[in-house]
Copies of this chain bind each other. A is one copy, B any other.
Amino acid sequence: MKKPYNEVIDVSRDNPHATGMKPMSFVRQVIASCIYPELIDSDKMPLDVRKRAKTLLECIGGSVGCYSDTIGIPIMRDSVSDFLTRRDEGVPSASGKIFITHGSDHGFGLLLTMLVRGDRSPLVGVLTPVPSQDFGNATLVASGATAVPYYLDGQQGWRLHTEELQRALRSAREVCDPIALYVINPGDPTGHVQSRESMEEIIRFVYEEKLLLFANEDHQDILIGEGCMFISYKKVLAEMGSPFSDAVELASIHSASKGFMGEGGLHGGYLELVNFDPSVQIEFDRLISLLVLPIIGQLALEVMLNPLQPGEPSYEHYQEEIQHIRETLVHNVTRAFEVLDSLPGISCEPINGGASMFPRLHLPHTAIHQAKEEQLPDFFYCSRLLEQTGLCVCPGSDLGLPEGTYHIRLCIMTSVDTMEEVLRRLGKFHKQFMKDFS
């Protein structure tokens, strides 16, 4: 059947290399040289690439075909620990509290699996933000835990209010045993970046309610808002001092799958535990060692943790690539707001970080009415958009949003050309849709 478009563009989830973002050359050069060490001995790669690849190869036993140690290749934990200490300006980090993972989902999934098993109550709950990709997602379901929604404030840039957490916790306690609060910062798909004050409030909340704090900080290097900074939960916690800093149990994750690297296919991440009981750490160590880690993802992670330094031959090109990604993102967001602002019945909260935007659709009543005969209205909109234009975006209901407001998620980690085409298709479709149903 002839389609009215040449190819599908899928911006429904964060998959930057599939939407025109280029991988970082240094990362790929190092990994290719580890895979095929003849490249190290030739002059086909820059000197710093060859040096880095040689060091890494020595760490992994001489070949990417060697099995990894179950705790990761030998230098990994220390690399993460040094990275964290630098990032958090001296807040100490111990390699024994760091666990190398297949990526963020893997780390949280295993931790949850362990906590669910150790808990004797019938149903373990995790307070989980809505909207989020992680709401009721595979990791939670597989672990046996249940996601209890708390709603971010779509009228105020998707901020998190403590009152809403309290409401969610009360309602959770009627159906399960809530043990943890899950936060995503920078937000995804919301684009919200939490302020220090908001983080302190959250820390006080989990302290008082005796909840574990799970922080997904996967998008920490993607900040778009003017002057917007990333602060880690670990740093805020440490700086709040006693009684919080030595009591709140925090698990935080990060990976090479998101951010500038965007190496989602390679599977390298870590999880850090803060203030957890040593027995939990030992058991987690045992559990995580059951699934051997792929080597290549760890190599990507290692390069992310130890970026090139000034003076190294590839440094300038590396910086240019990062700068290019940053400029592309800012450009994409600016252009997206220009187009959205020109369209009727669509609005979007400001974006300060992360890889997505999450505009709201103010759908005409007739569209809502017609949709509801078969499906949810946002889904109705998205399926038509896909059918008619080949543009795939994610309906808000897939991210946990209840019936009543309608949103779409579109990823902004794309090339400028892809973003232009996304906006062209969306704009044309949206105008016609609003006309057809007005």
Contacts and interface: CB of A to CB of B under 8 A. Distances in A.
Interface of A: 13, 15-18, 23, 28-29, 31-33, 35-36, 39, 42, 44, 60-68, 102-103, 105-106, 138-139, 141-142, 261-267, 287, 289-292, 294-297
A63 B18 contact: yes
A282 to B, nearest CB: 16
Contacts of A292: 103, 105, 264, 267
Contacts of A266: 64-65, 294-296
A63 B85 CA distance: 32
Rank and list the top 9 A-B pairs by shortest CB-CB distance, nearest first.
A17-B63, A265-B295, A32-B36, A17-B65, A138-B290, A32-B32, A18-B66, A267-B294, A18-B61
B28 A102 contact: no
Nearest to A44: B44
A136 to B, nearest CB: 13
B138 A289 contact: yes
A62 B28 CA distance: 14
B291 A66 contact: no
Contact of A65 (B64, B262, B290, B291): B262
A265 B68 contact: yes
Among A16, A68, A102, the one with the most B-chain Cβ atoms within 10 Å of its Cβ is: A102
18 contacts: A13-B67, A16-B65, A17-B65, A17-B66, A28-B36, A32-B33, A32-B39, A64-B263, A64-B265, A65-B262, A65-B263, A102-B291, A105-B292, A141-B290, A142-B287, A142-B290, A264-B292, A265-B294
Given A17-B66, A32-B32, 14 more contacts: A15-B61, A15-B66, A15-B67, A17-B62, A17-B65, A32-B36, A63-B265, A66-B265, A67-B265, A102-B291, A102-B294, A142-B287, A266-B295, A266-B296
Nearest to A73: B265
A265 B65 contact: yes
A358 to B, nearest CB: 20
A296 B141 CA distance: 27
Contact of A17 (B13, B16, B61, B287): B61
Among A44, A141, A291, the one with the most B-chain Cβ atoms within 10 Å of its Cβ is: A291
A6 to B, nearest CB: 16
A18 B296 contact: no
Contacts of A23: 63, 65
Nearest to A113: B142
Contacts of A142: 287, 290
A18 B62 CA distance: 7
A325 B418 CA distance: 47
Contacts of A138: 289-290
A43 to B, nearest CB: 11
A127 B286 CA distance: 24
Contacts of A13: 67
Contacts of A39: 32
A267 B296 CA distance: 10
A19 to B, nearest CB: 9
Contacts of A42: 44
Contacts of A44: 42, 44
A276 B105 CA distance: 30
Among A61, A103, A265, A290, the one with the most B-chain Cβ atoms within 10 Å of its Cβ is: A265
B18 A264 contact: no
A97 to B, nearest CB: 22
